[in-house]
Structure 1
């Protein structure tokens, strides 16, 4: 049976998660009034009302160790996160689960009452992460990463967290990193989701989401994201330690006054570089990956993880022992983390560096227009899909795009109408069954031959615009390159619509 001790400010949404899981849910009031019969309590928090439970409690970790101080809800000051009240330990009302022997010594020093009240189990989550490494390509496929560099941001809660210190970081990354070379993913602590509510978080990051930010739900996906990541930007939270255990290049957003000096997160932050908001971010990210060496964090993670392969069995044995039952003899199965089902928004507009064709090729560098990238004086143009919601972006667009194919007569009607509807645009282009059709303001029609027109119509729009801007209106074939991908585009200027359909 499951229950929620909902006195916490962060308990919002927990009952919804449990109901969706299909478990039997009983009220905390029934537990308080002894209306529920039970033999053991498993708690993911050390901050429950222990006086209301009549059986022994196994306190499961919801982080990696005892690494930070948090406000004490029972009085002024702070307390060590993860450690139950001293009176609970003295009364032998709880057993605290540990992932490493070092934590036992730490707790013994901080709270002598914890001696004999802890159990070294290991960390079942790391075991599942390691077992899931073979699914890395499938995770990246599910995220839509393709050949891009996946940058994962992980934020704990409170003011010293990544978002507490630098809430605009996701948007700034989206604005500075070329969209065809990088993907940005954000994992936010469930306490933030619970306290503010999903709507507030979606409002905070609305522009970044329109720009392609991958925002993970509060209860899943971060495990797949860490495995899929090419590098991680973190704070003093536990996900940074998991990233270190997976050998990822790591940057951080600064130290925290909450952190316990000398603990593994403290050491990890001292061993990694802080992201400098006064320096271009791409340079820092690329440098971090270039200097990373496999195994550089082993001396930190060796202080966090022990008995990893036996963690599930150790935990099961502890529970059965507390129930005075004999554990099953069969081995436990280790389940890999499922493929994520992310909510991916299509990017509907780009700011594109305006360049010329060189040696028959056009290399495009694109940034999502939704985050208003600053190109520092570089010549740019905006390519916007017809479905773009932001009117200001549409007003700035040099090219209007439709990626759903039309036949040639319908295509000509659409491009003509699109230019009339968007007086600031210079080009309108739509996909067709075998390529595309564009019209340049003034009436010049361009036939475009290309494969997979649905995917490449944005790139073709930039080709037409850049050629028109330079006055190079020759019929020609151009190799269009975006990120790690390229395709060949054939331009036929002054195309007569009555000729064979493209």
Structure 2
């Protein structure tokens, strides 16, 4: 990207066809954050008053490829922090204290409260954490985020105890990822056809988060040993692809008769298409339960009591070579979100409030998720 030719560059003003736009910056440090934020951006569709920019704060090949595929206007982080933006979108608290504008922070998984008891990088001797901790939300004695999007009313109660200074920024907005999955349920057969799964075939999806506690590390035999009578799909956390590389991931699965779902998109359609999901403590497993999939667990480490992963561990059997033991966890969607099917409207209102613009008159778009390409 040539800095000079962007609308922000010194020589870019004369190249602009639509001048005077409010500026939105999307901070994408990882593919995980990027995929979450892509659910927000359709809320700005069709608005000629808004220009969206993307930035990658630190180098990462996979994230750069993701941004290239999105087709957005990408500007260097060093350039972004030299300008003021009307709205900054983030799905991580990293870099929020340096964000050049009013920031809306979206959870980058199911729930703003973590399932793990401790930060992974801090080791097992670290103090417990839940994801809405004071040290995470505050920088220099201040809360840098203008809007902290929460998924559930319970999270507001936790925030009031852990960091009351952040309460003015908190908005219980539900979960737009879950809402999109719920809107996609009528298209289940369409997704199954796109995966090459026939009407009479059984599709079992193995869901894995990252790190050594995950399905992919703890139960690698599952990708090889499921009954040949079923079709198998593999949904792997984007951090697995980022840390090991796409070539290595596919090499590890080379002798497995599985449909490998790409990390950018397709996992949601696959969960909806599945007859059974075998998962772990990660968000993809929780979202599958949230849309009523029949569930089994491959593994589940020590998790925070009362977390979504803890609820699944208590309710879902471990997989012991019989997919017939899979169960539906009733009303799990209500544990993820207390604003079911309303997230788009709440988030769009918050975004336009920060932009200082009236909302568009057209309805809030909550579109079905894309099929696997």
TM-score (norm 1): 0.59
Structure number with larger C-alpha Rg:
1
2:173–2:343 CA contact under 8 A, matched in 1 = yes
Residue 233 of structure 1, CA deviation = 0.4
Return the match for 1:40 from 87, 108, 123.
87
Return the match for 1:297 from 302, 313, 330.
330
The answer to whether 1:204 aligns with 2:268 is no
Residue 72 of structure 1, CA deviation = 5.5
- Aligned match of 1:110: 162
Gap runs ≥5 in structure 1: 342-502
Residue 206 of structure 1, CA deviation = 0.7
- Aligned match of 2:316: 272
Return the match for 1:329 from 346, 351, 361.
361
Q: Aligned partners of 1:194, 1:273: CA distance in 2, in Å?
A: 31
Q: Aligned partners of 1:12, 1:240: CA distance in 2, in Å?
A: 27
Q: Aligned partners of 1:169, 1:49: CA distance in 2, in Å?
A: 38
Residue 90 of structure 1, CA deviation = 4.8
- Aligned match of 1:92: 143
The answer to whether 1:262 aligns with 2:306 is yes
- Aligned match of 1:287: 325
Greater strand content: 1
2:90–2:96 CA contact under 8 A, matched in 1 = no
2:80–2:100 CA contact under 8 A, matched in 1 = no
Q: Aligned partners of 2:270, 2:68: CA distance in 1, in Å?
A: 26
Q: Aligned partners of 1:315, 1:86: CA distance in 2, in Å?
A: 19
1:55–1:93 CA contact under 8 A, matched in 2 = no
Return the match for 1:140 from 182, 189, 192.
192
Flag the 1:89–1:235 CA change in 2: closer, same or farther, 3 A. farther
Q: Aligned partners of 1:51, 1:122: CA distance in 2, in Å?
A: 24
- Aligned match of 1:14: 63
Return the match for 1:131 from 177, 183, 208.
183
Residue 52 of structure 1, CA deviation = 2.4
The answer to whether 1:149 aligns with 2:202 is yes
Which structure has more RCO (C-alpha within 8 Å, separation ≥ 6)?
2
Q: Aligned partners of 2:142, 2:301: CA distance in 1, in Å?
A: 33
TM-score (norm 2): 0.78
Superposed CA deviations along residues 180-224 of structure 1, whole A, max 9, x for unmatched, are: x3000010011111111101101111100xxx3100000111111
Gap runs ≥5 in structure 2: 1-52
Structure 1 residues 299-378: aligned runs within 5 Å:
300-341=332-373
- Aligned match of 1:414: none
Flag the 1:306–1:269 CA change in 2: closer, same or farther, 3 A. same
Return the match for 2:298 from 253, 257, 260.
253
- Pairs aligned (count): 312
- Aligned match of 2:18: none
- Aligned match of 1:171: 224
Residue 89 of structure 1, CA deviation = 9.0
2:143–2:166 CA contact under 8 A, matched in 1 = no
Q: Aligned partners of 2:132, 2:67: CA distance in 1, in Å?
A: 22
